[in-house]
Structure 1
């Protein structure tokens, strides 16, 4: 019997279709869910009376729930959410 090259079974095609989104999900999960400092418009100085130390997203002593890297409690970014 002669094999036809370039033809794939339905099972192979279905497996490939499932594998592509799974790979994309794995890559998305591996990526950081946080914004970079430039994306957040982060600055090391407060914006008037508003500063990271007064934000609900600040994680003492120097981190943030939504911005990557080391954050100053005296900094500020566009994700600022005041503590009630």
Structure 2
């Protein structure tokens, strides 16, 4: 039978691990970006025919996007284009 060291129980370890989990998740979400880079999105500053960022549901006026990093033009376009209904 294994000897148990005082103050180092499995219950203490699990409690400490669970207590630190929210902080770990918070730090991870603060560092990670869910957005694509412009090359990943195949972003271009010109429209694709009649389709442009200004007509996309992901466009955030005046020059942002919910899925592409950085400044985007309302006249631009990318492969994530989602037309407004």
C-alpha separation between the residues in 2 aligned to 1:34 and 1:42?
13
User: What runs of 5+ residues in structure 1 fail to find an aligned partner?
Assistant: none
- Shift in Å at residue 72 of structure 1? 0.6
TM-score (norm 1): 0.70
Matched ranges for 1:9-48 at <5 A: 9-18=9-18, 21-30=21-30, 31-48=32-49
Equivalenced residue count is 80
Moved over 4 A (4+): none
- Shift in Å at residue 23 of structure 1? 4.5
Q: Which moved more, 1:66-75 or 1:8-17?
A: 8-17
1:54-83: CA deviation from partner (whole Å, max 9, x where unpaired): 111112211112211100111111110111
In structure 1, the residue matched to 2:71 is: 70
1:25-74: CA deviation from partner (whole Å, max 9, x where unpaired): 12332023322222222121212221101111112211112211100111
C-alpha separation between the residues in 1 aligned to 2:43 and 2:10?
51
In structure 1, the residue matched to 2:84 is: 83
C-alpha separation between the residues in 1 aligned to 2:20 and 2:39?
31
User: What runs of 5+ residues in structure 2 fail to find an aligned partner?
Assistant: none
